[in-house]
A and B are shown apart, each in its own frame.
Chain A
Amino acid sequence: MKPASFEYYAPRSLSEALEQISQVGDDGGKILAGGQSLVPAMNFRMAQPTALVDLNGISELFYVHPTDTGGLMIGAMTRDRVVELDENVKLRAPIIPECLHWLAHPTIRNRGTFGGALAHSDPAGQLPVVAAALQFNFKLQSKKSERWVNADEFFVSVYTTCLEADEILTAIEVPALDKRAGTSFQQVSRQSGESALVGVATLIELDDIGKIKDGRIAYMGVAEKPVMANAAMSLLKGNKPTNALIAEAIHATVTEELDPGADIHASVEYRRHLAQALGVKSVNEAIARAAK
């Protein structure tokens, strides 16, 4: 229950950190952000990084900025609890504090970081599905280059993103919501602060006469990474939402697009049941909020 030895780097600037990770990244070196998932894995020795480049001393990575276009720019090291309580975040992307409320406990969110929870790519994580539904953009920097990728590209598989060994996720852009947009986050877990059995993040945009113009629905806990409910969206799009239509649309996704696994905590049937119930609830809430 103690971590294996590692070389420790405590850079004071991003350029120093990029230099260090370029040297150790290929040999099993890792980035240390909040450590709330990495350090437990190291305690169990499931993770044995040869080196850690600690970003906690890099003040330029801690910020939440409202953008001119109505969205948000969030520094990767901003603590989850800071993001959760930020007034601009509450106003511009209320689904973020709503989903963070489910992420472990305040004690963990005091140390855990926004970028870390995304780069961890936990298939039962709250932020990855919200990122998929809202189409977050990710700034990936290395010593040599800098690139932006969207959520579809960023999440690759279980605990795997498209980050290269010498890259650092430095900032996350949350796009502005449409004027007539509403969001909703729903999940069921066995106990407070636990991973979700199933969860769903929904974004719905309405047109002037109340028809569904566009949107995205993303599921967690049913596959290796967030699953987009495309079947449901194509049935909803262009239509006036009714209870029957919403139930039918979600049913199409649950039967055609979701392939949940079974484990000691929940059977396949129960996960499908949750996916249906939470999907309907989430779409209804998002529509109600969009209509306001």
Chain B
Amino acid sequence: MSDLIDIKVNVNGQLYERSVEPRMLLSDFIRFELGLGGTHVGCEHGVCGTCTILFDGKPQRSCITFAVLADGHTIETVESLGTPEKMSTLQQAFQEKHGAQCGFCTPGILMTMTAFLKENPHPSEEEIREGIDGNLCRCTGYQNIIEAVKLAAENMDSKS
């Protein structure tokens, strides 16, 4: 085993200090070191997108990045979006349109689309489809997901 490396990472607004092996994936760090199980792990080689988190505000795959690379950086996971009592606008729209379906891909899609809607608050359906093309849903239906993102964009608009 190689030496442990001390890292400090801001996750969902809280500073965590840990000692980790360099080979520890960021996804495993989030799940097993911090106990934040909302970030799912599917393919573990950067294809399915369910492990997507925000790294300094930008969506990235946590399964193909090492935890040591997050030292000094800011991570946001799906737990940062809301609570069952106080969901984010996007989460509410997913509930309303049944966009979660089985729920396995949902954390990655929520994180990807949270950043997407910030950059692109008035997306066309085509842009939404392109925006989630890096996130796989194996319930075989993207329709409800797209409907949910559309609704969230409308609701964010009426709030602002």
A3 on the B face (CB < 8 A): yes
Q: Roughly how many angstroms separate A78 CA and B2 CA in the complex, as a whole number?
A: 29
Q: Roughly how many angstroms separate A157 CA and B63 CA in the complex, as a whole number?
A: 28
Q: Which of B65-73, B83-91, B93-101 contacts A (4 or more CB under 8 A)?
A: B65-73
- Whether A43 contacts B5 in the complex (CB less than 8 A), given A107-B112, A110-B55, A110-B58, comes out as no
Residues of A within 8 A of B79 (CB): none
A150 on the B face (CB < 8 A): no
Interface residues of B in 49-64 (CB under 8 A from A): 49, 52, 55, 58-61, 63-64
Tell me if A5 and B58 are in contact (CB < 8 A).
no
Q: Roughly how many angstroms separate A40 CA and B55 CA in the complex, as a whole number?
A: 18
Residues of B within 8 A of A111 (CB): 55, 60-61, 64-65
Tell me if B69 and A56 are in contact (CB < 8 A).
yes
Question: Shortest CB–CB separation between residue B40 and chain A, in angstroms?
Answer: 14
Tell me if B60 and A43 are in contact (CB < 8 A).
no
Tell me if A2 and B25 are in contact (CB < 8 A).
yes
Given A39, A52, A54, A106, which contacts B46 in the complex, CB threshold below 8 Å?
Answer: A39
Q: Roughly how many angstroms separate A108 CA and B68 CA in the complex, as a whole number?
A: 18
Given A2, A44, A105, which contacts B134 in the complex, CB threshold below 8 Å?
Answer: A105
Given A4, A40, A44, which contacts B23 in the complex, CB threshold below 8 Å?
Answer: A4
Q: Roughly how many angstroms separate A106 CA and B69 CA in the complex, as a whole number?
A: 19
A 37-59 binary contact with B (CB < 8 Å = 1; else 0): 00110111000000010101000
A 1-28 binary contact with B (CB < 8 Å = 1; else 0): 1111111101000000000000000000
- Whether A192 contacts B60 in the complex (CB less than 8 A), given A8-B5, A39-B65, A56-B69, comes out as no
Given A3, A44, A110, which contacts B59 in the complex, CB threshold below 8 Å?
Answer: A110
Interface residue count on the A side (C-beta < 8 Å): 29
Tell me if A107 and B60 are in contact (CB < 8 A).
yes
Question: Shortest CB–CB separation between residue B93 and chain A, in angstroms?
Answer: 21
B133 on the A face (CB < 8 A): yes
Q: Roughly how many angstroms separate A193 CA and B130 CA in the complex, as a whole number?
A: 10
- Whether A107 contacts B23 in the complex (CB less than 8 A), given A10-B68, A35-B66, A44-B45, comes out as no
B21 on the A face (CB < 8 A): yes
Tell me if A1 and B44 are in contact (CB < 8 A).
yes
Least CB separation from A81: chain B residue: B58
Question: Shortest CB–CB separation between residue B130 and chain A, in angstroms?
Answer: 7
B38 on the A face (CB < 8 A): no
Residues of A within 8 A of B45 (CB): 1, 40, 43-44
Tell me if B68 and A7 are in contact (CB < 8 A).
no
Residues of A within 8 A of B58 (CB): 81, 110
Tell me if A6 and B23 are in contact (CB < 8 A).
yes
Tell me if A36 and B130 are in contact (CB < 8 A).
no
Least CB separation from B72: chain A residue: A57
Residues of B within 8 A of A105 (CB): 49, 133-134
For the A-B complex with A8-B68, A35-B69, A110-B58 known, give 15 more contacts whose Cβ atoms are closer than 8 Å.
A1-B45, A2-B23, A3-B23, A5-B21, A8-B2, A35-B65, A36-B46, A39-B65, A40-B45, A54-B69, A104-B134, A105-B49, A106-B59, A108-B46, A193-B134
Q: List 11 A-B contacts (CB under 8 A).
A: A2-B28, A3-B25, A5-B23, A8-B2, A8-B22, A8-B68, A35-B64, A105-B134, A111-B61, A193-B133, A193-B134
